[in-house]
Amino acid sequence: MQKKNKLSVHRPSKRLINDITDDEFGYYLAGLMDGDGHISTIGHIVISFNSRYNDKRDAFMIRSRIGFGKIRQVKDKNAVNLIISNKEGIVHFSKLILNKLKHPTRIAQFNERLCSKFDFIAKTSSNTNINWDCLWFSGFVAADGYIRIYIPYRKHRKKYEVRLLCQIDQKSDILLQQIKSKFGGSVGYRE
């Protein structure tokens, strides 16, 4: 008699960073960089994470997978930064995200700040079209977005509705317009 597997009533945990290929991991990192990362003027790679929720744990998991970097608390904010500043770590990180960045500002930072500091790092592609068949979008939403389900009561209909909201905050709408074209929704502006 074949043993039946029991189904868990608990929500499955997300796919762990160590369970994906280097190529998939590179797309995820590129999404994080495009969402809430930057390359400093001195060539350090910095990605910000919310220190509430599970984002801080993700920063440590990413640092462990990359093998380089420091986690630093951001003063007076609920955030930590993963900072990669040594040459070997920067080169390794650069190889992982090469030709995977989509935000024009991050592409420019990569090509101007890293390639000028390390002449052996190849320039990254300037293609800003999002590849939907990889983990880039997952990293992008993990960095600057959230998904919420809420159930408001509608008095005029005398019933509850289930609503799903995915919100991504960015300073410019460059990538948001592509996301809107793919999934619908709206792009709003805050002053």
pLDDT digit string (tens) for the chain, length 191 residues: 555 555 556 555 555 777 899 999 999 999 999 999 999 999 999 999 988 767 888 899 999 999 999 999 999 999 999 999 999 999 999 999 999 999 999 999 999 999 888 888 889 999 999 999 999 999 999 998 888 898 988 888 889 989 888 899 888 899 999 999 999 989 988 87
What is residue 3's predicted lDDT score, i.e. its pLDDT? 53
Radius of gyration for the alpha carbons in the chain, expressed in angstroms and rounded: 19
* Measured distance CA(43)–CA(121) in Å, rounded: 12
pLDDT value at residue 163: 87
Single-letter amino acid code for the residue at 189: Y
Three state DSSP letters for the chain: CCCCCCCCCCCCCCCCHHHCCHHHHHHHHHHHHHHHEEECCCCCEEEEEECCCCHHHHHHHHHHHHCCCEEEECCCCCEEEEEECCHHHHHHHHHHHCCCCCCHHHHHHHHHHHHHHCCCCCCCCCCCCCCCCCCHHHHHHHHHEEEEEECCEECCCCEECCEEEEEECCCCCHHHHHHHHHHCCCCCCCC
Q: Give buried/exposed letters for 128-159 (b at 16+ CB in 10 A, else e).
A: eebeeebbbbbbbbbbbbeeeeeeeeeeeeee
Q: How far apart are CA 113 and CA 85, in angstroms?
A: 13
Length of the chain: 191
For residue 7, what pLDDT is reported? Answer: 53
What is residue 117's predicted lDDT score, i.e. its pLDDT? 85
